[in-house]
Amino acid sequence: MSESLSVEIRDAVAVLTLNDPPYNRMSLEFMDELEGEVESLAENTEVRAVMFTSSGLENFSVGMNLKQLPEGIRKRGSAEALFEQRLQVIRSIETMGKPWVATLFGYCLGGGLEIPLGCHFRLAADEGAQIGLPELDLGAVPSWGGSARLIKYVGEHHAIDMILRAKKISGQEAHRIGLVHEVWPLGELKDKAFELAVSLAKMPSQAVRSMMEVIVDGREKSLDQLIRAEKKAVSDNRGSPDSEEGMQAFLEKREPVFNQKARS
């Protein structure tokens, strides 16, 4: 365990925990460590899903430690280079081909929402969550891809309302507008997120990766391009061990057991 990020792997799920309670600021050290872990997890065949959470139950994250901004600019050479690192880390999460599940509770602000927006599933606490991109309150704008992804998930109508008014919305409201997939009592949230990650890890990994390639990049492609991508996914999965196991399990009226080759 490091000072800012811990990683635990169990049941084919990597649990990443940001360790800076109670506010769980995303320090320069944390972002460097997260960048390395993302690269490592992408190559780790034993990990088929990732859960991203934070220490304690007070706040997921208030975002970047702004006191470190001058130091980060100095180390990276420019503000553009500093923010580019964050953009690349989030994009790598998004395109890894392994599903990420994020927990949202307490303050989830700035980078504390922008990284979850790069994850594929977001689960929120049913009370106490304050979720938003309030950078305009500081005379700034979202800089880790938050505005672009927020539009993708909730549409221009809700995105412009949240960003231009620097709104912080509840978990229930986030669920209503499609920003999060599920809402749970705070005491159950992390357990439910892990259960979801385990269930995703049990799905056929090649099929999951293929569909994620189609879906994640879907907004950047035409219908014809998406159909070609889907046809490639069909070809890649035809005759795979998992597809044969799925069909055999269906015929035998039992639950399929996928990823057996990965376990051997």
Is the omega angle on the peptide bond into residue 22 within 30 degrees of 0, that is, cis?
yes
- Cα distances (angstroms) measured from residue 17 to each of 29, 50, 76: 14, 11, 25
Cα separations in angstroms, 143 against 81, 153, 183, 256:
12, 17, 27, 43
What gap in Å lies between CA 155 and CA 172, rounded to an integer? 17
Whole-angstrom Cα distance, residue 114 to residue 173?
Answer: 17
What does the alpha-carbon distance between residue 173 and residue 36 come to, in Å, rounded to a whole number? 34
Backbone phi, then psi, for 9, in 5-degree steps?
-115, 120
Contact 186, 57 (CB under 8 A): yes
Q: Which of 33, 37, 94, 114 is catalytic?
A: 114
Question: What's the count of helices (H) and strands (E) in the chain, helices before strands?
Answer: 11, 8
Look up 114 and say whether it is catalytic: yes
- Decide if 220 is catalytic: no
Q: Which of 67, 75, 111 is nearest to 93 (CA)?
A: 111
Token reading at 12: 């084919």
Q: What is the DSSP string of 100-120?
A: EEEEE-SEEETHHHHHHHHSS
**Exactly one of 33, 37, 94, 135 is catalytic; which is it?**
135
Which active-site residues does the annotation give?
114, 135
